């Protein structure tokens, strides 16, 4: 029984994530964590304890970005004492993924063995959530076959075709006008969806040490 929240907005979301985790504290008191996205980078801070004890002002300042997820942990698998098992979890490929998970995998040991055998993926903790993240990463890697993510090459090519251009921006899309369509004609569209409901009931700024 963990608590998870996700926010995407037009202004920094670190305070909203913090306030949301305070409201979700009853879902887990073992550990708390927040990860935010800004540009092409992730920032993350997590640790054992209650939300109010894990995060200080300096930690919040290190979490910029208009999109992020948060997690409070109630341990039902893995080690309750290890701060390494606090969530969210991060893996750098493909693209860079951050995951917050509530639930249990009943076949995590088998999945862990298959990940190492088939994809040489190393699981660093005993958390089944880290296993799930790597399963997702493996499936995305397989599904992304045929995508061209070389922004430098694409930018150079765009500059050659458009003389005078001084700025090139790159984004990953699935091709076509509809972002749900697949970039590969023979591949069915891959859809990933998630929802989060957040109601803000006033600010509760973290204390500084």
Catalytic residue numbers read: 2
Two tokens, residue 96: 């860079």
Contacts of 50 (CB under 8 A, 6+ apart): 25, 29, 32
Other beta carbons less than 10 A from residue 158's beta carbon: 13
Asked whether the beta carbons of 4 and 70 are under 8 A apart, the reply is: yes
Two tokens, residue 141: 């890697």
Q: What is the rounded CA–CA span in Å between residue 14 and residue 37?
A: 10
3-class secondary-structure state, position 38: strand
Alpha-carbon distance values, 123 to 71, 73, 92, 117, 171 (Å): 20, 19, 13, 12, 30
Asked whether the beta carbons of 63 and 88 are under 8 A apart, the reply is: no
Check residue 183 and give left, alpha or beta (phi > 0: left; psi -120 to 50: alpha). Answer: alpha
Q: What is the rounded CA–CA span in Å between residue 175 and residue 131?
A: 30
């Amino acid at each position: 029984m963990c608590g998870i929240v996700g926010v995407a907005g037009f202004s920094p979301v670190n305070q909203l994530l913090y306030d949301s985790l305070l409201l979700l504290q009853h879902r887990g008191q073992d550990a708390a964590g927040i990860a935010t996205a800004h540009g092409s980078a992730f920032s993350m801070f997590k640790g054992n304890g209650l939300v109010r004890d894990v995060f200080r002002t300096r930690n919040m300042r290190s979490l910029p970005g208009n999109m992020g997820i948060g997690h409070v942990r109630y341990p039902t698998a893995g080690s309750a004492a290890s701060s390494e098992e606090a969530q969210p979890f991060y893996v750098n490929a493909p693209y860079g993924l951050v995951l917050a998970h509530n639930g249990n995998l009943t076949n995590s040991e088998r999945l862990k063995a298959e990940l190492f055998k088939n994809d040489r993926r190393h699981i660093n903790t005993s958390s089944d959530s880290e296993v799930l993240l790597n399963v997702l990463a493996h499936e995305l890697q397989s599904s992304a076959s045929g995508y061209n993510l070389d922004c430098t090459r694409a930018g150079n090519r765009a500059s050659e075709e458009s003389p005078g251009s001084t700025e090139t921006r790159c984004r990953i899309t699935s091709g076509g006008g509809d972002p749900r369509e697949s970039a590969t004609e023979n591949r069915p569209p891959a859809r990933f969806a998630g929802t989060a409901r957040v109601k803000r009931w006033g600010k509760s700024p973290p204390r500084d040490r």
